Structure 1
Amino acid sequence: MLGRKKKTQFAKGGHTLFDHALVIDGSVRFAGTLDIEGTVNGDIVAEEGADALVRIRDKGCVNGELRAPKVIINGQVNGDVFADQHLELAAKAEVNGNVHYQVIEMVKGAHVNGGLVHITEAEPSKVESSAKVAELKVSSDAGAVQESKSQ
C-alpha cells in the first residue's frame, strides 16, 4: 500500500559483515546492521539513538562488552550484553557474562553463564545509573530461577 513502510529484519543505516576469517583487535562503533562471523577482541557499541542490530553468527565470537538496541546471538560472547529493545539467544548461543535486556527470546540449547537482568527503566541504555532493575539468577545445579530486586 502507498505510504506504508515495510518492516525488515535489517536496521536503518546500512549493513556490515565481519567475515569468518576476520579478527578485529579493538572496539567497534556502528549504526545499522552488523553481522559478525569472525572474532572481535573489544567492545561493540551501537551509536547513541541509532536503530541498530548486531548479530553474532554461529562461528562468531566477541571478547568484550556488547551494547545495541537489538541483539541476536548464535555464537559466543565473553562479556556483558546490553540489549535496550530486543535480545534473541539462538540454539548455539553462549554468553559468559551478565545479560541486560528489555525483551528476551531464548531457544533451547542457549547458554548464559551469568545473570539475567531485566531493564525496567524508561531509558534502558543507561543501565549503570538505573536504580530499578530486577535481577534473575539461574542456578545450574538446582535448575531454579530466583528473582531479587535491587535499589
Structure 2
Amino acid sequence: MIRMGRNSKPETGGTYGESSSVEPDAPYRYQTETPQAAVRGGAITDSDAMARDIKEGRLSGFVGHGTTLTGETEFQAMLRVDGHLIGTVTSEAGTLIVGTNGVVDANVSVAAAMINGVVNGDVIAHEKLQLGRTAQVIGNIQAPRLVVEEGAVIEGKCSMVRAREDSEKQVAAEVENTYAVQSSYSEPAITDEERLTAALFDETSDEEEETAEAAGV
C-alpha cells in the first residue's frame, strides 16, 4: 500500500521562489500568477507551483509524466497524476487531479476530483467531481455535485445520490411545514368543560325521550 501523507512541518531549506498565489480551496490553479510575483521572480512554472504546494502541505503526492505507480494509493491533501497510476485510489478528505497526460486504471473514492485525463474505473467523489474537456471516464461516476465541460466523455452510469437525498429531504420539510400551517387554522381543541356540558345535554335529551315514550304508552 502506498500512503502519501501531508507535510506537517514545511521545510526551511531549498529555493522555491515567491509565495504561492494558489488558495487552499482552489488546488487546481497551478498556473495562477499575481503580477507582483511575475515581476519579482518571472513566470511561475508548474514545477515551481507544485514545489510550493508540497512545501506548504497542500500536495501529498505527484505521479509525473512517464512514471507508472502500481498499488493501493491513499493520500490526505492532494494527489496529482500526470503519469500512469494502477490499483486503487482513496482519500477521505483529499482532492485527486488527473492531468491531460494522466491515466488512472483504478477505482477512485475521494472527497473531490478534477479529471482532464483518462480514468478506467468507477469514480466516487463525496463532495464534487469536475470533468474537463479532455476527460475520459470509462466507468460509473457518483457525486453530489458534477461539472462536465464540453468534450468530456463518460461511458458508464451517473448517480447524484446525495443531491437526490437532499432534494427529497427538502420536499419532506416543505410538506411538513404546509401541514403545520394548515393545522394552525383548524378548529380549536374541545376543553374539558365543553365535554362535560355536552355530556349533560345528552343525558337531558335521553331523559326527555324516555318521558315522552312513557307518556305515549
2-structure distance, mates of 1:121, 1:70: 15
> Larger % of strand: which?
1
> Larger % of helix: which?
2
The question of 1:41 aligning with 2:86 is answered yes
Show the 5 A alignment for 1:56-75: 56-75=98-117
2-structure distance, mates of 1:119, 1:32: 24
User: Over aligned residues, Cα RMSD in angstroms?
Assistant: 2.2
Secondary structure of the 1:64 match is strand
The answer as to whether partners of 1:14 and 1:31 remain within 8 angstroms in 2 is: no
Match of 1:107 in 2: 149
The question of 1:82 aligning with 2:124 is answered yes
Judged with a 3 Å threshold, the aligned counterparts in structure 2 of structure 1 residues 13 and 121 are, in CA distance, closer, same or farther, namely farther
Question: What is the percentage of aligned positions where both structures have the same residue?
Answer: 26
C-alpha displacement at 1:9, in angstroms? 1.3
Q: Deviations over 1:64-92 (max 9, x none)?
A: 10111110000000000000001000000
The question of 1:23 aligning with 2:68 is answered yes
Structure 1 residue ranges without an equivalent (≥5): 1-5, 124-151
The question of 1:95 aligning with 2:137 is answered yes
Report the residue type matching 1:87 in the other structure.
L
Match of 1:9 in 2: 26
1-structure distance, mates of 2:57, 2:90: 15
Q: Deviations over 1:32-84 (max 9, x none)?
A: 011100001111100x3x3x111000000110101111100000000000000
Structure 2 residue ranges without an equivalent (≥5): 1-22, 29-55, 166-217
The answer as to whether partners of 1:13 and 1:31 remain within 8 angstroms in 2 is: no
1-structure distance, mates of 2:136, 2:66: 20
Judged with a 3 Å threshold, the aligned counterparts in structure 2 of structure 1 residues 120 and 8 are, in CA distance, closer, same or farther, namely closer
2-structure distance, mates of 1:107, 1:121: 20
The answer as to whether partners of 2:24 and 2:58 remain within 8 angstroms in 1 is: no
Count of residues in Structure 1 that have an aligned counterpart in Structure 2: 115
How does the TM-score come out when normalised to structure 2?
A: 0.49
Match of 1:133 in 2: none
Pair member with larger Rg? 2
C-alpha displacement at 1:13, in angstroms? 4.9
Secondary structure of the 1:10 match is coil
Show the 5 A alignment for 1:108-147: 108-120=150-162
Report the residue type matching 1:10 in the other structure.
P
C-alpha displacement at 1:122, in angstroms? 10
How does the TM-score come out when normalised to structure 1?
A: 0.70
